Amino acid sequence: MRMNVVFVATLVWAAPLAAQQADSLPPGVTAATIADGKKIFAGPGLCSACHGPAAKGVQGLGANLTDKEWLHSDGSYEALVAQITAGVPAGKSSTGVPMPAKGGASLSEAQVRTVAAYVWSLSHAAAR
Ligand code: HEC
């Protein structure tokens, strides 16, 4: 009987942990979303032109997107979606270079959410 109590207690303790790990991706984001976002980043999104192919930033252009330092938002998934949609005006850019809305690319809202998932994953190692 005593063994059973310990066993049940372990299950009760471990279950939320497992759920938390599965929940660590933002709602609606899967590993496939992140992989698709990477393709948009390097391709039709034009992002790599200013942020570099590995998103580590280009001196005097786009910021490093792989660290946890966010200049223009709190770095949460929804904040990144909003920020990529809006771009960065020259007056707010630390380099004085603006980021056009959606990087100047003609991305759909869904494509912006997809590329934002990739950007989010870069500073969340567990997602990769
Ligand atoms: C024409 C160049 C250019 C393109 C193209 C571009 N960006 Fe940017 N991006 C910038 C600049 C400039 C900033 C502001 C950097 C600064 O303030 O130092 C910025 C900032 C950002 C930020 C905010 C970084 C922070 O620290 O808060 C994110 C996220 C971002 N870009 C994502 C993207 C994505 C995703 C794409 C493709 C859809 C993209 N960018 C395309 C130039 C560009």
Is 12 inside any structural domain?
A: no
pLDDT in tens, 16-27: 444 444 458 999
Is 33 inside any structural domain?
A: yes
For the chain, the helix, strand and coil percentages under 3-state DSSP, each to the nearest 5: 55, 0, 40
Question: Which residues approach ligand 1 with their CB closer than 6 A?
Answer: 45-47, 49-51, 61-63, 65, 70-73, 80, 83-84, 88, 93-95, 97, 99-100, 102-105, 115, 119
Is 63 inside any structural domain?
A: yes
Paired residues of 88 in beta bridges: 99
What is the average pLDDT across 108-121?
A: 98
Q: How far is the CA of 115 from the centre of ligand 1 (A)?
A: 12
The pTM score is 0.85
Residue 60 backbone phi and psi in degrees, to 5: 80, 0
Q: Which atom of ligand 1 is nearest to the CA of 93?
A: 17
14 or 114: which carries more pLDDT confidence?
Answer: 114
Residue 85 confidence (pLDDT): 98
How much is the CA Rg of the chain, to the nearest whole Å? 19
Q: Look at the chain and report how many structural domains it folds into.
A: 1
Is 35 inside any structural domain?
A: yes
- Judging by beta carbons within 10 Å of its beta carbon (0-12, 13-18, 19+), is residue 109 exposed, middle or buried? exposed
Cα of first residue to Cα of last residue in the chain, in angstroms, is: 42
